[in-house]
Chain A
């Protein structure tokens, strides 16, 4: 059984193809981390490897690989600042892996093991960029691919792995990993690591009408919420994310929120518990209802009651909150909420008119609302360009717009009338998914509203909802096809989204909830519950033990006692009727039966022939035929014997 001389080279060829395929997968997985030019270079190198494998070409020499590596490294280091530490590392590692594969030689075993090691590491890095279920499945498949290459690297002959032998091992390995995942101690982050540098998505720090209208047409997922108890109605589901306080006449700007521990004001109102799974948006701000009080440890709250993180959210994050749906206590100086740029004289005049005779801020706000309703303002997602001065033109000539127009104008009017006010960016409403199990909030649910200062608190005011009451109507999944004026959605795409993507999104949600969001606190909770079960079980413990142990032993004994072989099973009914002397073969025994029952001799002979065909010819169908014949004969033979 000597390996033919080509055996080793065939093995090595297969190993290289698997490694190549794996690198292709890595290239696709790490796509978001690379710039277009580096992607092109890596693709070319992979193509070169494919060509080399296809044509059976020689491995690249070390000099050539090193020259290329030096060139690439120089370019990479020049662009290091744009790339950021982590992306630079991704570049280095993939470059090293591809060049190593291009120069792979069967005689250098260490090269293969190093390559496999780097592959495992890069695969894990894929999880920094992707956390959703489908890509996780792809990464797991990548793990299997690399493992198979790994196995091949240590084979001397082509392995014949049977799925039947592999799957118990695979299932065991997965179970053991899952057990480790649930039970292994978890630590808080040891130190800060550089995050991935990606473009920000979602509500930005600058609120210009243009970028909002883009957002309002995006079906991308923003975050998902599950309420522990009854969910608040849609008109109370204002998820705050940003506070835009500075206005330059065209754009509203938010300050970067500083995380800060703030004492719990604890007004004693009803508390709403919920957990949020937010998609990565590369920003610091997160989403919360009303006044957030208790938080999970991975988020913080700042002075203005916004929930924030210490690092830009670069991967899916899950956090728990308790909120009170009450007006927010005002903190610090209010002076900056009165700042206004020059210009918009008509609006200032209108503010003075509305404020004249109004007893307080509340009355003024109601008058502004009534003004919008009375003056035939319309809600539109594509109102067209509004020329400067923006507020005056919107209020007096254009009169069509969406949330940021209405909220921005309201804040302008309030500030002009001397009431501290600010523009709040966030999300409103959301769609219920999976029979109301969780709330799905998309980017198109982005919204802007007003907070004005009255009676020592910040009060919520949403002028847009007065113009477009549909915003406050509960949308059920399936009826949520937005049909706003000017919405540029394709009906077919919407349907596809509903029937195909939504079930997948639901699965993805539970994946995020149970796997991505599993943390130390949940682990503790699980252990506590297990202990409680154990306590419950303890008093019945020994009864169960004494019942289960003998049953288990009996089962074990029964399983290991010698099985009656198939022949004995076949003839057992006959043997019960007529004893077979020891030393007699079954052939003789059946012939004996033929003498006992000559009227059934033909059937018995048929049975004998089938038996012999099975026993000596190895024909399983003959066994079935013999058994059937015997069963048909049995009643007659029984009658004969009795």
Chain B
């Protein structure tokens, strides 16, 4: 019962927020987008103010009243300070890579302001459950988002919140960033299909160096160790082998029952061919991708598959 109500409320909130702040590429956190409300501790301190006022009145003790007012002013000041902690922060988001269905997409969120917000927590506002918030420790931080289904998705609303500086007042916002990410079908080679074998380990490309990440680069070539150490995205570069000359067309395998299974199969094959450096094309019922090779070509193929 409660969860139904909660979900109803969440949906209402999302429609209201959609009207209030449509998606934009960068969001500047202005007054319209920031919400403030006392925390439980904040209400506790307000109750203390009331208690001290009554105590001061009954003892006719002006100093206790003075302390009560000082505490009240502290709570009021905390509202402004909590608001200013997030105010005028500029946000943007960028997916780190394309992912396969069932993985988690990593999104890099950037905060831009002189003097960054303190003690910030961030998470996603989805209509399924209460957002799990993680502490933010750097102006550029990475948030993982589960990507269960293939497609080209818009990121959900972010939730940023902070109780800085005194924990009396929470300031939070739900910015919607216009940022899309690709989820490709999960690669799965159909059982018994021996037409395409993975290349031998021995014939792997020769490593030639690293270069900065660009969108579209293969995820498996990212230097993850380096990213976790230095938050710097680098791509391993391998020397291209001489491409094979045979032309190859991929098309759905009619032996597979479901569309998803066919797409997974095609994805797996496309990946294997691309790894081999084999040029290939894609023929579907309504679409065709001409023969080509290279990461951009592979990405085009996978995007077509994701949107099927």
Contact = CB atoms under 8 A, between A and B. Distances in A.
12 contacts: A3-B137, A113-B44, A117-B41, A147-B166, A150-B166, A154-B165, A155-B119, A181-B69, A184-B69, A188-B57, A190-B57, A193-B58
Nearest to A3: B137
Interface string B284-305: 0000000000000000000000
Interface residues of A, number: 49
Interface in B48-75: 48, 51-52, 54-74
A1 interface: yes
A517 B62 CA distance: 8
Contact of A519 (B60, B63, B71, B138): B60
A33 to B, nearest CB: 14
Contacts of B76: 176
B168 to A, nearest CB: 9
B64 A124 contact: yes
B65 A181 contact: yes
B199 interface: no
Given A124-B52, A150-B166, A187 B64 contact: no
Interface string A106-129: 000000010001001101100110
B58 A191 contact: yes
Contacts of A507: none
Given A124-B67, A169-B77, A192-B58, A154 B163 contact: yes
Given A2-B137, A120-B45, A154-B167, A131 B61 contact: yes
Given A123-B67, A128-B59, A150-B167, 5 more contacts: A124-B55, A139-B67, A176-B69, A181-B65, A518-B62
The 7 closest A-B pairs by CB, nearest first: A127-B63, A180-B69, A154-B167, A177-B69, A113-B41, A176-B73, A177-B70
Nearest to B162: A154
B52 A186 contact: no
Size category, B interface:
35 or more
B118 interface: yes
A117 B165 CA distance: 16
B164 interface: yes
Given A154-B119, A154-B167, A155-B119, A190 B138 contact: no
Nearest to B138: A1
A519 B59 CA distance: 12
A329 to B, nearest CB: 31
B119 A315 contact: no
B135 interface: yes
A189 B58 contact: yes
A176 B75 CA distance: 12
Contacts of B60: 189, 298, 317, 519
Given A124-B64, A190-B58, A153 B167 contact: yes
B267 to A, nearest CB: 36
Contacts of A530: none
A551 interface: no
B167 A173 contact: no
B67 A189 contact: no
A143 B63 contact: no
Contact of B137 (A1, A143, A192): A1
A516 B59 CA distance: 12
Nearest to A316: B61
A151 interface: yes
A123 to B, nearest CB: 7
B67 A173 contact: no
A155 B164 CA distance: 7
A332 B135 CA distance: 79
A190 B56 CA distance: 10
B280 to A, nearest CB: 43
Contacts of B62: 181, 515-518
A2 to B, nearest CB: 5
B137 A515 contact: no
Nearest to B116: A1
Contacts of A177: 66, 69-70, 72-73
Interface string A133-147: 000100100010001
A156 interface: yes
B118 A155 contact: yes
B66 A156 contact: no
